[in-house]
Chain A
C-alpha cells in the first residue's frame, strides 16, 4: 500500500530553467509534507516543508505547493542549478512518523 507516490523516476532540465517534481498521496490524515534531497553516499537532507493547512511555502529558489483536494504536492526549483542534481524524496507525516515516496532523480544540465 503505497501511501506516497512519486510517479516520475527521473527528470532532466537545463540550467536556469524550472524543475517541477511531483508527489501524490492517499492518506488524508497526513499533517505535514516534506521534501528531502539525497546525494550519493549521504543521508537525505531536509529541504522544505508545508503544513496541511497551507497551500504554498517558499524558501529561496524552492517553493512547495499543496493541493489537498487533489492530494497532490509539487516542488518547484527556480532557477535550477547543476548542484541541484540529486534524488528528491517527498515525505508525509502522520502521528510523528514519516512515509516516503520512491524518489525522483533530478539531473540539471549546464
Chain B
C-alpha cells in the first residue's frame, strides 16, 4: 500500500509568481484535503476535493485553487505569491468525506522571497 506522496519537497519562488504543488493520495482514497502550516502554527484547512469536485473551503483567497484528477491525485495552485504564503503545504487523503482519519503526506516547503 503506497502512502501519500507530495512533490516537490522544497520550492523557492519570487513574490508575484505562480506555483503548483502536487499530491498523490493513498491507494483507495477518493478525498484529498490541503492544509497550510505556517511556522509555529498548526495546519490550516485550505480546501477539500472529493471525486474531482471542491467539497468545502477554508478562509483562503481565490488565488488558492485546486484540482483533483480521475485517479484522485491532486494539485494546489497559488497565483500572485505573497511573502506570507511561505509555509509547509500538506495534503491529506481519506476514504470519503465523513471519515475523520486523514493520512498526511510529508509536505512541500514553499519559500517566497
Contacts and interface: CB of A to CB of B under 8 A. Distances in A.
Do they bind each other?
yes
Chain B, interface SS category: loop
Interface stretch (B39-47, B60-68, B73-81): B39-47
Given A95-B56, A96-B56, A43 B104 contact: yes
Nearest to A95: B56
A95 B48 CA distance: 12
Interface string B86-113: 0000101000011011111111000000
Contacts of A9: 40
Contacts of A89: 42-43
Contact of B90 (A44, A93, A103): A44
B103 A102 contact: no
Given A43-B105, A46-B103, A96 B97 contact: yes
Interface in A74-107: 89, 91, 93, 95-103
B4 A43 contact: yes
B104 A45 contact: yes
**Contact-residue bracket for chain A:** 20 to 34
Contacts of B101: 34, 46, 49
Nearest to B91: A43
B24 interface: no
A97 B58 contact: yes
B33 interface: yes
B90 A43 contact: yes
A43 B6 CA distance: 10
A75 to B, nearest CB: 15
B56 A49 contact: no
15 contacts: A43-B90, A43-B92, A43-B105, A49-B100, A96-B55, A96-B98, A97-B45, A98-B33, A98-B45, A98-B100, A99-B45, A101-B42, A102-B40, A102-B41, A103-B40
Interface of B: 4, 33, 35, 40-45, 48, 55-56, 58, 90, 92, 97-98, 100-107
The 5 A-B pairs with the shortest beta carbon distances in the complex, nearest first, are A43-B104, A100-B42, A32-B100, A96-B97, A100-B43
